[in-house]
Every structure is written in structure tokens, then in C-alpha cells.
């Protein structure tokens, strides 16, 4: 039974996890030996098929996620752009880190002929997220990374959008089959218990996960405690602190307030990059400006009733805290929905109970924290856990002192303008940061995410014909390589 | 109290782990902002100081390890060569993966200015190994990697060579201080319980470990179960299978037998790359040739009495197994020593009980396994766990069929000539492989080992002056960078 038919079958006919995993293992025998051109064609075929199905997929996504057609249209475009970017990166080839050292008897110890490149790990499990039904779901960044690497994928679909997941899986599997990828290269499973079994499955060699801190930690612990531990790349939780200097507030308070209001309410605040805590000078009246910018916000349906309930609980906990004021909106929320809430407090209150005040509150809220001076603000920011992003708004030429060092240690992306929501997909993008924002030191967005599903292999004194094309002496694929320590980019005049 | 004085102090005056870790954290404020030229100078200073102390260190190392002056002289040279290679790699700069994406409003979503590079993780714990008192110990590859990355190091010295460890630590700390590195950049602690506390210490951000499967698993589990899990790069155990084809035995049996004999007895077999199991055609008489090549071997002092006892136990277990013959040497060993032992068996025996027959037996022994045909051999090799190396000896032009795929999936280094002992230090070297040989998908030898102690950070819309030099628009350090998707190597005519 192929996984292509599997995903179109009714529940009764669905293959077992063992069958899906066995098919993935069998497919690996082909994908591990696939050429860059083949993998590139697979990725492009998936992108084309998804774009062609946009008129069907976007309404389905909206029905299940309530995220709106405009946002979902953009998200699908971003998803297929990511697949195409990876398709081009696979052909460019430098992600393989191809390295050739010719023999050198003069070194200690003497050096044989050594040729190293990255090779695929094996079948990869991907846990999709609720809040990006395209970009971090069935055909999202983790799936694109694994296919680019040459790894079969088993997606555990998210229960918040099951019909979209199934239909996307059908389209992905169909496109891959048409493009000549092997049966079993893509599988789709459902259910919490199946997800647990997936992380434990002997055929699974790595996991990509986007979701909650609690759920991610449970699965990370499972992956780490296997008889054979496997890498678990989880993107879990982030507060995404923002620091606004006195000079910046003086110069452009309204612009900053409306920028923040737009960012934290975007998509009902259901972004892992939502700016959850914003440090502003005491007495600047910034919280009230943000409240004014938000205005009368209507309740917006959230992704699931559970997410809405957790949002309301989080707000209630914050608002009940001594020293926290609600300056816009109300902590009482209508079931299933979220409406914008602005809270305010001081660094003293935060430092007295950082665990409570700096926990992620997933939804359209932000906590404005007044500070006395920058050192005071940085002391409080240091108590924020690792975050996906950290932002500073300062004026041109302003002395940043320790701000940059503190934000860099905290986060995987440091912004000097704009707001952290909206994650461009590119070579330089980084989406990940210190615990608890991620479980690893790798990105889950951008081209370097492919690296997660590869491991290095060195070939010693291999006959040229036995080597992968990427390592043959003549460099037939023309990829960038390091040769005897020198990075060489073919096609450049230096080559 | 600086760790420089700490390592020279008497036991009574030694700093606590908290003091050493606190000093490392304080040093990180300096190392994280250090320049490539500074780190390069630190590494070179350590190398120079160790070379200058060779006449003192090598006899001390021999006293504690019994490994012999010739071997230890080579090992020290390899250790300082590695430090110097890393010093040059730091300046070359491509290990930082510097990536610049200029703004592009046409992408989905629109792309801001994004600049990404790798940044140091923070203080790194290094657990040194018994069997390489220089190259995998106080100033070994993990220490070199961490310092190159800009991370302070806390070494947990191995109890098999405490005096050498202390003296090396003094020299390293002194050289770093003289070269201008901050106090606390290097610390040295001892004792099993301190090691456990080190892995759990909140200031420690990553661990490098070389040692046993059991000990490594315990520490890996501790690192993974922390409230904030940290990366644990462990190199644990390997059997290092070798496959010799019928054609190769026919062509050069004696050469292969004497090569194997030299490799598995080298350093009393105390290499993680020791060829522990060798598959040969049935009826080839190869085991007997190896026995002849070994001849009458004298007992050699092993690293510790415990290692010698474990070796004898392992041999006894193997020899007691039905279907296993001892063809050279004796399983009874003199206390504290190891003498060469050649055992033989068949693939059928191996496949019936792979757990017992394919466990690492650390010491000067090898198990010769007779196979009926290559498919039979590959079936048995598949039951070998992940290994650091896998070797095939075939004749030029011989069809390798599935051999290469099977060996590549199993190991981090695949050899087509020679023997796996002796690990050249170079850009293309890879030392690591699937579980249980390592706990991660990274190497612990060669330049790319630096990558383990770095994490990516992207700067978004940063003013040029706020950026690390590596990411400034003018590329003042002249390092290789990817700019708008194109890899550019300055100094090449293409730039």
C-alpha cells in the first residue's frame, strides 16, 4: 500500500503507523541516492500543485482556522515560495558542505584522501502547528527541509485543521508521485497517540515540531529517552520582548503605538513571534497610546476553542496580579474568540514574579512594562526566557550600550525596526532561539533549516567512481566546495 | 579568584564548581564580543605553550597512560596542530556562515534587511577521555572547538591521568592569560560527582564528551532532562566493521592481515576507531593469517586496571559463546594489561545474537566473521549499531553493489583503503556516526566541530554600526559570505 493511496483512503482503510513508517524506510533507499535535480523537481512539483489548488485550499483553510482569506492567500504563497527557494538551494548545492582534502603525508597524523559531505538522516516525523495551516503544516518548512535533504516525511497533522491537512496531503503525495518520487516518501497520520508512537518509532530518525511548550517538551523527552535518541527540533514558545528607548518614544510614540497594535493583534495574536512584552520609559503614557491605537476591537474567532480558553485564562491570571492594569479591552473573553487586550505594569512587578508575568499568553494581548532607566529595563529583560525574537526601537545614532548584547543572548532574531510578526523566508532568516523558544540550536525557517536532517559522512581513499557526484574530483555538478581548505565557487572567475 | 590560579592551587584551595562556572559566565561577556584575531591568538598561544612543554608533558603522560613516548609525541603534535588549524579557520571566517539578505519588497512576505551569522552559545563543559591524554583531553578537540567559537571552557579532567590534566590545565590557563584572554575563560574540575553537577549547572550551555557508552548515556540523559535542555555532543562507542571482499583476500591476504593486526593492536587497542569486527569470505583462512601476523604478543599495560578488567571480561564473554573460536592469544589476561586476541566466528552466529557478539570490546582484540556471500555479510553488518567508521577492502574496479550504501548508513567515515585507527585532523574529517557511536549529528574532530558550540542569530534592519564586523556591508574582515543567495569569497577574482 502506498502512502499516496493511504491519504485518500477512508479511516477504515488507513494504513497503520507501522505501514507508513515501513513505506518511508523503503522510500529512503531511493531518496538517499536521489540526485539534487530530482529533489529539486519534487519540491517544485509540490509547490506547483499547491498553487494550482489554491482556490480549493484557501476556503477550506479559512473554514477550519478562521484566519481569513487574505492572510491565508499570503501564507500559501509564502509556503510555495519556500518550497521553490529550497528547490533552488538544493541545486546550488552548498548546503551539503562538500569538502575535499587531498592526501598530505606531511601532517600529523598523515592525511589520507578525505571527502566529506552531508547525507540524509532517514525518515523524518513532522508535527504541524495549528496557527499556520499552510506554512508550518503538512507542506510547511519542516516538510520542505526534509524532502530537500533527501529524507522521507511522515506528517502528524494538526487536529485544528484535519480536512485541510488530509486534502493537502493528497495533493502533496500526488505531486510527488507524478514527479517520480518513490512510494512512501510522504505519509500523513493523525491523532495524539499516533504522534507519540511516531516519535518512538524505530524507523524515525529525526523530528520537526512546532507547537506548545508543554506538548513539545513531552515529545522532546520521548525522543531523548529512546533506546537510540534522535534529534528533536522543536519550536515551542516565545514572549518576544521589545525595548523602546526614551528617545524613540519622544520622537515617534504614535507610530510605534500603532505599529505595536497592528503586530500584536495580527491573526488574533496567534503568532509565535507575537510581541508579548514591551518595555517603555515610565511616565511616557505609551500604554494608553497603544490602547488608543487598538480602539474598540471586535472579538475574532480563534483557531480552536481550547486556544481561546487558554488565552482567557492567561489574561485572567495576569490581570489578577497586583500591579498589573488592564488599559484596553477586557480580560473576560467570549468563548471561542479573542479580542485585543493591553495590560501594563512596571519592571519591579515583573522582577518580583517573572515566571507569572513573562509566560507566553498566546493571543491578541501585550504587556507594556514601564522602566526607570535602560539598566532597569535590561534587568527585567534578562528574566525573559529564550525567545524567537527581541526588538529594540531606538533613534538613529543613539548609543545602545548593553542593549544589543542582552537581546542577542536572549533571541535568535534581533530587530532594530518594525515588529517581529511576519517571518520572511530567505537564506539569512533565523527562526529559533534559546530554550524555551526552541529545543535546538538550529532554525526552522530559511534555507539552513535543511541542515537539521543531514549528517556528515567522510569518505576516505575512495575510488572516484564510488563517490557521490558532489565529491568526485571533477566536481561534475559544479557546486561550491572547500578544497584543501580553500572555498571554491565554480562559475566565479576564481575557479 | 581566577581559574588560572585555581588550577595551580592545592586541593584545599580549589574553587568550587559554582566559582568556576561563575568565572566562565563572566568571561563569556568578553569572549562573545572577542574578535576572530583575538580567538586565533588564544588558540595559537595554547599550542605554542604545549609544544614548549613537550619535554615535561610527554613523560608525565606516559607515566599515567603507559602509551609510550613515540605515540604520545605524535599525539601532542596532533593536538597542537589542531589548535593551529582552528586558529586559521577562525580567521578564514566561513565557519560563521555569514549571510546577508538585502531588503526585497517583492517577496512573500516582504523581506527586510536580514543578516545572519553563528554566535557562541556560552560556557561549554568538556569531558576528557582516558585514551587520548592530549588529543581528547584538557586541550583537545572539544576545548579547541569551544575556544574557537568564543565559548569559555570548563574541562572535567579524566581520573586516568590527573597529574597530566592538572599540569596541562595550568599551561593552558597561563597561555590564555598571557595572550590576553579573560579570567575564567578556562577552568578545570575533577571528580565524578562534580562532572554530574557540571552537566546540570545552569551556566553551562553545551557539553562535549568522549568516553564510554554507559557514562555518556547517563550524562546525555542529564543534559536532556534539565529544566532547560542543552546540547550534549557525546562520542561513545563503536565497533567499526570491516568488510573484505573475496577478490581482495585472493589478491593480498597477507597485506590485509598484517594491516589489520597493526591496527587492532595499536595503543593496546584502546582506540574508539579500533576495527572490532572483520567480515571475510568463509574458508579464506584469513583469521589464521591475522593470528600469524600478530604472533606472540606480549602483555601491554592498559590505561587503567578497570579498562583491562573490562577487556578481559568482554573477551571471556565472547569466547564462551557457542560458535566463537579463539585463534590467537588467550582470553585470560594478566591484571592491568592487554595482549592481542583474535577470535573467529560466522555470520550465522553473529545474526543469532548480535547484541552479545557486536558489543564494543575495548582493547587489543578483533572478531573475524566468515561470510558465505556479500549479501550474507551485509545482513550481519546491518546488525552492527551505528559506528564511527566502516571499511571496505575491495579490488580496483570491483562492483560494490549495496556495500557502499550499507556502510554509509552505518557510519560517519567510510574507508576504502587502510584502517580506521589514526584520525587525521582536517577540514574534511568526520568523527561521529549514528547512535550509539555518537549522541549527535556533528563531528568531534576537524574544523566543523566548531559548529557545535554556535547558534545562529539574524539581525533585522540593523544599523551598520550596530552589527558585528562580520556582517557589516563593507565586509571589513573579508570573510566568505552569502549575499542575496550568492556565495562570495573575497580575494577571489570574482569578488
Per-residue pLDDT of B162-187, as tens digits, reads 999 999 999 999 999 999 999 999 99
**Quick check: A422 and B463 CB within 8 A?**
no
**Quick check: B107 and A441 CB within 8 A?**
no
pLDDT at A109: 73
**Quick check: B448 and A456 CB within 8 A?**
yes
Q: Residue B276: which pLDDT band, with cuts at 50, 70 and 90?
A: very high
Span A284-296, average pLDDT = 94
Partners of A156 in the β-ladder:
A127, A189
**Quick check: B436 and A228 CB within 8 A?**
yes
Distance between A20 CA and the closest CA of chain B, angstroms:
21
Query: Which chain B residues contact residue A413 at CB under 8 A?
Result: 457-460
- Decide if pLDDT at A6 tops 90: no
Using the Cβ of B106 and the Cβ atoms of chain A, whether some distance falls under 8 Å is answered with no
DSSP strand E in B394-461: where? Answer: 411-415, 454-460
Query: Which chain B residues contact residue A245 at CB under 8 A?
Result: none
pLDDT at B9: 39
- The 10s digit of each residue's pLDDT in B339-392 is 999 999 999 999 999 999 998 899 999 999 999 999 999 999 999 989 999 999
User: Hey, how many other C-beta atoms are within 10 angstroms of the C-beta on B327?
Assistant: 17
pLDDT at A221: 98
Using the Cβ of B461 and the Cβ atoms of chain A, whether some distance falls under 8 Å is answered with yes
The B residues from 384 to 413 touching A (CB cutoff 8 Å) are 386, 396, 400, 404-405, 408-409, 411-413
Query: Which chain B residues contact residue A135 at CB under 8 A?
Result: none
Annotated active-site positions of B, please?
235, 272
Q: Spell B77-110 as b/e; 16+ CB within 10 A means b.
A: bbbbbbbbbbbebbbbbbbbbbbbbeeeeebbbe
- The 10s digit of each residue's pLDDT in B201-222 is 999 999 999 999 999 999 999 9
CATH number for the domain formed by residue range(s) B241-415 = 3.40.309.10
Contact A192, A112 (CB under 8 A): no
Using the Cβ of B492 and the Cβ atoms of chain A, whether some distance falls under 8 Å is answered with yes
Contact B406, B376 (CB under 8 A): no
Mutate: best of B77, B428, B462, B484, partner A, most A CBs <10 A: B428
Between A370 and B105, the higher pLDDT residue = A370
Using the Cβ of A76 and the Cβ atoms of chain B, whether some distance falls under 8 Å is answered with no
Span A305-313, average pLDDT = 94
Using the Cβ of A490 and the Cβ atoms of chain B, whether some distance falls under 8 Å is answered with no
The A residues from 137 to 196 touching B (CB cutoff 8 Å) are none
- Decide if pLDDT at B11 tops 70: no
- Which CATH fold topology does B3-236+440-453 show? Aldehyde Dehydrogenase; Chain A, domain 1 (3.40.605)
pLDDT at A9: 39
Using the Cβ of A432 and the Cβ atoms of chain B, whether some distance falls under 8 Å is answered with yes
- For the record, the C-alpha cell of B495 comes out as 569578488
pLDDT at B229: 98
pLDDT at B10: 44
Using the Cβ of A417 and the Cβ atoms of chain B, whether some distance falls under 8 Å is answered with yes
Using the Cβ of B417 and the Cβ atoms of chain A, whether some distance falls under 8 Å is answered with yes
Using the Cβ of A270 and the Cβ atoms of chain B, whether some distance falls under 8 Å is answered with no
**Quick check: B487 and A494 CB within 8 A?**
no
Annotated active-site positions of A, please?
235, 272
Nearest to A323 by CA among A360, A367, A284: A367
**Quick check: B416 and A460 CB within 8 A?**
yes
Contact B388, B437 (CB under 8 A): yes
- Decide if pLDDT at A427 tops 90: yes
Using the Cβ of A51 and the Cβ atoms of chain B, whether some distance falls under 8 Å is answered with no
Using the Cβ of A428 and the Cβ atoms of chain B, whether some distance falls under 8 Å is answered with yes
Residue-by-residue DSSP string for B444-476 = SSSGGGGGGGEEEEEEES--GGGS-GGGSTT-T
Q: Write the residue in A74, A108, A224 that is nearest to B109 by C-beta.
A: A74
Query: Which chain A residues contact residue B423 at CB under 8 A?
Result: 109
Percent of chain A's residues with pLDDT above 70: 96
The whole-angstrom separation of Cα A79 and Cα A95 is 20
pLDDT at B491: 76
**Quick check: B428 and A100 CB within 8 A?**
yes
Query: Which chain B residues contact residue A100 at CB under 8 A?
Result: 428
Query: Which chain B residues contact residue A84 at CB under 8 A?
Result: none
- Decide if pLDDT at A339 tops 50: yes
Contact B446, B431 (CB under 8 A): yes
**Quick check: B428 and A78 CB within 8 A?**
no
Q: Residue A495: which pLDDT band, with cuts at 50, 70 and 90?
A: low
- Decide if pLDDT at B494 tops 60: no
- For the record, the C-alpha cell of B78 comes out as 596532533
Query: Which chain B residues contact residue A463 at CB under 8 A?
Result: 396, 416
Percent of chain B's residues with pLDDT above 70: 96
Using the Cβ of B101 and the Cβ atoms of chain A, whether some distance falls under 8 Å is answered with yes
pLDDT at A107: 79
Q: How many residues does chain B have?
A: 495
**Quick check: A422 and B109 CB within 8 A?**
yes
pLDDT at A1: 32
Q: Residue B495: which pLDDT band, with cuts at 50, 70 and 90?
A: low
Lowest mean pLDDT segment, chosen from A78-82, B6-10, B121-125, B127-131? B6-10
- The 10s digit of each residue's pLDDT in A384-415 is 989 999 999 999 999 998 999 999 999 999 99
Helix runs in B271-332, H state only: 286-294, 305-319
Query: Which chain A residues contact residue B455 at CB under 8 A?
Result: 412, 432, 434, 441
Q: Residue A289: which pLDDT band, with cuts at 50, 70 and 90?
A: very high
Helix axes B162-178, B54-65, angle to 10 degrees: 150
Q: Which residue has the cell 592481542?
A: B340
Span B401-424, average pLDDT = 94
Span B64-81, average pLDDT = 96
Query: Which chain A residues contact residue B111 at CB under 8 A?
Result: 424, 426
- The 10s digit of each residue's pLDDT in A142-157 is 999 999 999 999 999 9
Nearest residue in A to B206, CA atom: A441
**Quick check: A109 and B424 CB within 8 A?**
yes
Between B453 and B9, the higher pLDDT residue = B453
- The 10s digit of each residue's pLDDT in B286-333 is 999 999 999 888 899 999 999 999 999 999 999 999 999 999 998 888
- The 10s digit of each residue's pLDDT in B249-273 is 999 999 999 999 999 999 999 999 9
Query: Which range, B358-367, B416-425, B452-461, is most confident?
Result: B452-461
Query: Which chain A residues contact residue B428 at CB under 8 A?
Result: 99-101, 114-116, 458, 482
Distance between A170 CA and the closest CA of chain B, angstroms:
25
Residue extent(s) of CATH 3.40.309.10 domains in chain A: 241-415
Nearest to A150 by CA among A122, A130, A169: A122
Q: Any idea of the CA torsion for B68, B70, B76, B81, to the nearest 10 degrees?
A: -150
- Decide if pLDDT at B1 tops 80: no
**In 3-state terms, what secondary structure has residue B316?**
helix
Using the Cβ of A100 and the Cβ atoms of chain B, whether some distance falls under 8 Å is answered with yes
**Quick check: A466 and B416 CB within 8 A?**
yes
CA angle B221, B226, B230 (to 5 degrees): 80
Contact B461, B112 (CB under 8 A): yes
Using the Cβ of B298 and the Cβ atoms of chain A, whether some distance falls under 8 Å is answered with no
**Quick check: B487 and A487 CB within 8 A?**
yes
**Quick check: B224 and A228 CB within 8 A?**
no
Q: Residue B393: which pLDDT band, with cuts at 50, 70 and 90?
A: very high
Mutate: best of A214, A392, A456, A494, partner B, most B CBs <10 A: A456
Residue extent(s) of CATH 3.40.605.10 domains in chain A: 3-236+440-453
Nearest to A272 by CA among A421, A61, A67: A421
Instruction: Give the torsion sign (CA, B450, B454, B456, B461).
Output: negative
Lowest mean pLDDT segment, chosen from A229-243, B6-20, B99-113, B475-489? B6-20
The A residues from 204 to 263 touching B (CB cutoff 8 Å) are 220-221, 224-225, 228-231
Mutate: best of A266, A411, A428, partner B, most B CBs <10 A: A428
- Decide if pLDDT at B108 tops 90: no
Amino acid at each position: 500500500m502506498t502512502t499516496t493511496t493511504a491519504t485518500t483512503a477512508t479511516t477504515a482503510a488507513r494504513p497503520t503507523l507501522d505501514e507508513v513508517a515501513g513505506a518511508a524506510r523503503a522510500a529512503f533507499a531511493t531518496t538517499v541516492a536521489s540526485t539534487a535535480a530530482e529533489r529539486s523537481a519534487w519540491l517544485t512539483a509540490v509547490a506547483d500543485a499547491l498553487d494550482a489548488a489554491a482556490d480549493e485550499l484557501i476556503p477550506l483553510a479559512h473554514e477550519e482556522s478562521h484566519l481569513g482569506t487574505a492572510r491565508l492567500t499570503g501564507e500559501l504563497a509564502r509556503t510555495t515560495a519556500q518550497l521553490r527557494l529550497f528547490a533552488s538551494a538544493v541545486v546550488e548545492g552548498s548546503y551539503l558542505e562538500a569538502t575535499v582534502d587531498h592526501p598530505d603525508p606531511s601532517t600529523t597524523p598523515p592525511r589520507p584522501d578525505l571527502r566529506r559531505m552531508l547525507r540524509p538522516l532517514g525518515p523524518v516525523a513532522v508535527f504541524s502547528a495549528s496557527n499556520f495551516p499552510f506554512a508550518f503544516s503538512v507542506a510547511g518548512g519542516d516538510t520542505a527541509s526534509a524532502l530537500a535533504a533527501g529524507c522521507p516525511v511522515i506528517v502528524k497533522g494538526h487536529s485544528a485543521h484535519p480536512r485541510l491537512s488530509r486534502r493537502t496531503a493528497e495533493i502533496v503525495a500526488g505531486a510527488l508521485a507524478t514527479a517520480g518520487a518513490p512510494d512512501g516518501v510522504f505519509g500523513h497520520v493523525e491523532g495524539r497517540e499516533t504522534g507519540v508512537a511516531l516519535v518512538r518509532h524505530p524507523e524515525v530518525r529525526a523530528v520537526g515540531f512546532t507547537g506548545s511548550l508543554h506538548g513539545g517538551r513531552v515529545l522532546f523527552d520521548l525522543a531523548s529517552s529512546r533506546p537510540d535518541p534522535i534529534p528533536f527540533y522543536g519550536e515551542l514558545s516565545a514572549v518576544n520582548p521589545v525595548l523602546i528607548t526614551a528617545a524613540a518614544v519622544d520622537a515617534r510614540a504614535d507610530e510605534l503605538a500603532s505599529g505595536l497594535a497592528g503586530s500584536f493583534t495580527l491573526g488574533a495574536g496567534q503568532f509565535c513571534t507575537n510581541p508579548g512584552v514591551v518595555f517603555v520609559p515610565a511616565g511616557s503614557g505609551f500604554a494608553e497610546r497603544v490602547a488608543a491605537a487598538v480602539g474598540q476591537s471586535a472579538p475574532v474567532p480563534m483557531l480552536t476553542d481550547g486556544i481561546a480558553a487558554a488565552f482567557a485564562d492567561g489574561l485572567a491570571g495576569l490581570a489578577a496580579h497586583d500591579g498589573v492594569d488592564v488599559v484596553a479591552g477586557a480580560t473576560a473573553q467570549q468563548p471561542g474568540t479573542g479580542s485585543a487586550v493591553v495590560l501594563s505594569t512596571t519592571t519591579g512587578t515583573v522582577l518580583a514574579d517573572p515566571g507569572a508575568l513573562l509566560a507566553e499568553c498566546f493571543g491578541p494581548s501585550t504587556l507594556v512594562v514601564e522602566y526607570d532607566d535602560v539598566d532597569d529595563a535590561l534587568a527585567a529583560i534578562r528574566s525573559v526566557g529564550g525567545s524567537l525574537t527581541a526588538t529594540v526601537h531606538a533613534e538613529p545614532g543613539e548609543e545602545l550600550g548593553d542593549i544589543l548584547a542582552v537581546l542577542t543572548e536572549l533571541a535568535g532574531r534581533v530587530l532594530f525596526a518594525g515588529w517581529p510578526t511576519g517571518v520572511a523566508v530567505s537564506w539569512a532568516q533565523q527562526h529559533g532561539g534559546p530554550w524555551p523558544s526552541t529545543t535546538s540550536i538550529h532554525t526552522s525557517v530559511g534555507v539552513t533549516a535543511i541542515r537539521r536532517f543531514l549528517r556528515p559522512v567522510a569518505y576516505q581513499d575512495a575510488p572516484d567512481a564510488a563517490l557521490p557526484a558532489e565529491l568526485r574530483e571533477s566536481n561534475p555538478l559544479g557546486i561550491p566546495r572547500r578544497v584543501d581548505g580553500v572555498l571554491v565557487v565554480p562559475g566565479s572567475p576564481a575557479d
